[in-house]
Amino acid sequence: MELHPSPTARTGHLPSEAVSHGPNADVGPYSANKDVYCKQCGFPCNLDRDARNIDEFIGETITSGNILTNGSFESWTGGNPDSWTLSGSVTQVATAGYFDPSDDGTSSARIIKTSSTISLSQTPSTPSDFNGNIVTFRARIKSLTNGVVRLRLTINGTVYYSDYNTAQQRFRDLVVTRICPATVSSLAVAVLADDASGTAYVDQCILARNGNPTSPTITSGCPHCGSSNYA
Domain extent listing, the chain: 35-60+216-231, 76-211
Q: Mean per-residue pLDDT for 44-59?
A: 59
Q: Which of the four pLDDT bands, split at 50, 70 and 90, describes residue 78?
A: very high
Q: Mean per-residue pLDDT for 194-222?
A: 81
* pLDDT of 11 higher than 50: no
214-218 contacts: CB < 8 A, separation 24 or more? 214/54, 215/54, 215/55, 215/58, 216/54, 217/53, 217/54, 217/55, 218/52, 218/53, 218/54
* pLDDT of 10 higher than 50: no
Give the class (CATH, top level) of 76-211.
mainly beta
pLDDT digits (tens, 9 = 90+) for 83-140: 999 999 999 999 999 999 887 789 999 999 999 999 999 999 999 999 999 999 999 9
Q: Which residue has the higher pLDDT, 150 or 36?
A: 150
- Min mean pLDDT across 44-53, 161-170, 199-208 is at 44-53
pLDDT of residue 63: 72
pTM score, whole prediction: 0.68
